[in-house]
């Protein structure tokens, strides 16, 4: 029998996050569902424990270097449900999130492609409750930490079930047929902004995105500085530059003929200068790595340098991530 929902979770060898996430799903979900977990670079011991503790989960091993979009797509291509529920492994469910999102989707018009819950931090503060359109100018403001998506606007922080514009990839329910039509997540982007790109593409094709402020899920999100930030951030910046320079070409952002090079150069020069200033700052900091603070300084210094080197390059986001990941791991 076809499940109502295909639940897709990517976990980067983090059972301490994944297992409570799965427990919450099992406790609070009554609709029929299948659960597809992409076990990304899991140790053999963690794989064995995952299969033993959760025999109802379909485990998809992913050992090559892949990003968020590509790993999710491994599972999405196997999805059998009418709906796909994409959720990060570092989320906690304390109410029937999936059931209620399905109820929402059943009463929304057929062109409704996505419905999301309100996403909150463990302290109860809102992370996102709807997301408005993103532009090159908004990205600059975001880079300067001047964008607050928790302010009430036409697209955000409304009450109940409301139409928004784009989405947060940490948690959302999508109609499988529409998601498939859009080609799943765009693998042009390795670590963000594949979620924003998806929402903008849906709008371009005449579909709509919704948020239900009465449904909440907790997102633990990034808590500590990781050495991988020096590989992830350059990848994220390169992807963002591609997206915000090709907004008229959302169906094929990888096609360089559709990129506004004027926009790309303007954004790229701004970010290069910003990261150069950050690099100068860390020249005067202890980056020896002998203490936690100096280790963090070294990560930030290396990250700034890698971002600058990645802006004006012909490499794909995955090639950038692979290069810096291998350098960090000494491969």
The dihedrals phi and psi of 42, each to the nearest 5 degrees, come to: -75, 145
Helix (H) or strand (E) holding 61: strand 57-62
| Same domain (yes/no): 14, 94 | yes
Helix axes 194-204, 229-244, angle to 10 degrees: 20
In terms of Cβ atoms closer than 10 Å to its own Cβ (0-12, 13-18, 19+), residue 170 is buried
> What whole-number distance in Å separates Cα of residue 197 and Cα of residue 192?
9
| Same domain (yes/no): 166, 31 | yes
Q: What integer pLDDT is reported at residue 62 of this predicted model?
A: 94
Mean pLDDT of 276-280: 92
- Contact between 231 and 324 under an 8 Å Cβ cutoff? The reply is yes
Least confident residue range of 180-194, 257-271, 281-295: 281-295
The count of structural domains within the chain is 2
b/e per residue, 117-145, with b = 16+ CB within 10 A? Answer: bbbbeeeeeebbbbbbebebeebbeebee
Boundary-marking domain end, from 176, 197, 219: 219
| Same domain (yes/no): 150, 297 | no
Residue-wise pLDDT for 288-318, tens only, equals: 777 888 888 888 899 999 999 999 988 999 9
Q: What integer pLDDT is reported at residue 87 of this predicted model?
A: 97
The dihedrals phi and psi of 309, each to the nearest 5 degrees, come to: -70, -20
Boundary-marking domain end, from 196, 219, 242: 219
Boundary-marking domain end, from 192, 219, 246: 219
Q: What residues make up the domain containing 313?
A: 229-329
In a domain, 145, yes or no: yes
In a domain, 224, yes or no: no
Mean pLDDT of 67-85: 96
| Same domain (yes/no): 147, 275 | no
- pLDDT at residue 283 is higher than 90: no
| Same domain (yes/no): 233, 214 | no
Percent of the chain at pLDDT > 90 equals 80
| Same domain (yes/no): 294, 200 | no
Q: What integer pLDDT is reported at residue 224 of this predicted model?
A: 44
| Same domain (yes/no): 253, 285 | yes
- pLDDT at residue 223 is higher than 50: no
Q: List the CATH number of the domain containing 158.
A: 3.90.550.10
In a domain, 149, yes or no: yes
- pLDDT at residue 199 is higher than 90: yes
């Amino acid at each position: 029998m076809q499940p109502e929902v295909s639940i897709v979770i990517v976990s980067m060898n983090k059972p301490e996050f994944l297992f409570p996430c799965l427990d919450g799903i099992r406790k609070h979900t009554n609709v029929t569902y299948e659960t597809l977990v992409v076990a990304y670079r899991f140790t053999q011991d963690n794989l064995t424990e995952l299969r033993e503790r959760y025999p109802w989960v379909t485990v998809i091993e992913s050992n090559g270097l892949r990003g968020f979009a590509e790993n999710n797509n491994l599972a999405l291509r196997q999805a059998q449900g009418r709906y796909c529920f994409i959720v990060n492994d570092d989320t906690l469910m304390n109410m029937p999130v999936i059931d209620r999102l399905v109820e929402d989707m059943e009463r929304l018009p057929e062109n409704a492609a996505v419905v999301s819950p309100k996403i909150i931090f463990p302290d109860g503060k809102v992370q996102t409750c709807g997301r408005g359109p993103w532009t090159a100018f908004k990205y600059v403001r975001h880079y300067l930490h001047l964008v607050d998506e928790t302010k009430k606007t036409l697209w955000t922080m409304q009450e109940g079930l409301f139409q928004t514009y784009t989405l947060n990839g940490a948690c959302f329910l999508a109609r499988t047929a529409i998601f498939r039509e859009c080609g799943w997540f765009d693998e042009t982007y390795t670590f963000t902004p594949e979620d924003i790109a998806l929402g903008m593409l849906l709008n371009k094709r005449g579909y709509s995105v919704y948020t239900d402020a009465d449904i909440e899920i907790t997102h633990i999100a990034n808590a500590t500085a990781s050495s991988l930030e020096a590989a992830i951030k350059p990848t994220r910046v390169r992807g963002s530059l591609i997206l915000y320079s090709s907004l008229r070409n959302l169906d094929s952002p990888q096609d360089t003929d559709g990129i506004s090079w004027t926009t790309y150069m303007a954004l790229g020069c701004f970010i290069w200068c910003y990261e150069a200033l950050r690099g100068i700052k860390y020249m005067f900091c202890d980056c020896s790595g002998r203490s936690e603070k100096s280790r963090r300084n070294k990560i930030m210094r290396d990250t700034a340098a890698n971002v600058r080197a990645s802006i004006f390059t012909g490499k794909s986001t995955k090639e950038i991530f692979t290069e810096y990941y291998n350098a960090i791991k000494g491969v």
